[in-house]
């Protein structure tokens, strides 16, 4: 996985989300570190920033409201 250390840590946490389930950016940020910001996690999760989208399921992330975001 090529990316910054932060991106790789986000992608590794994404792999822990079970198939068929979703998590919010805030949930993932809290799992990474109490200092992680949800927007930074969202940026690292962005499919455009994720070169291995089939292996790392960025599509399992949703907003705190439960809405999908960033899909085109």
Active site residues: 58
Helices (H), the chain: 5-14, 25-32, 38-45
Q: Are 8 and 56 in contact (CB under 8 A)?
A: no
Helix (H, G, I), strand (E, B) or coil at 46: coil
């Amino acid at each position: 996985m090529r990316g910054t250390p932060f991106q790789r840590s986000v992608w590794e946490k994404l792999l822990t989300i079970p198939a068929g389930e979703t998590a919010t950016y805030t949930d993932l940020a809290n799992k990474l570190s109490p200092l992680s910001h949800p927007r930074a996690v969202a940026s690292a999760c962005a499919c455009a920033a994720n070169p291995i989208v089939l292996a790392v399921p960025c599509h399992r992330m949703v907003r705190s409201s439960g809405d999908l975001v960033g899909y085109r």
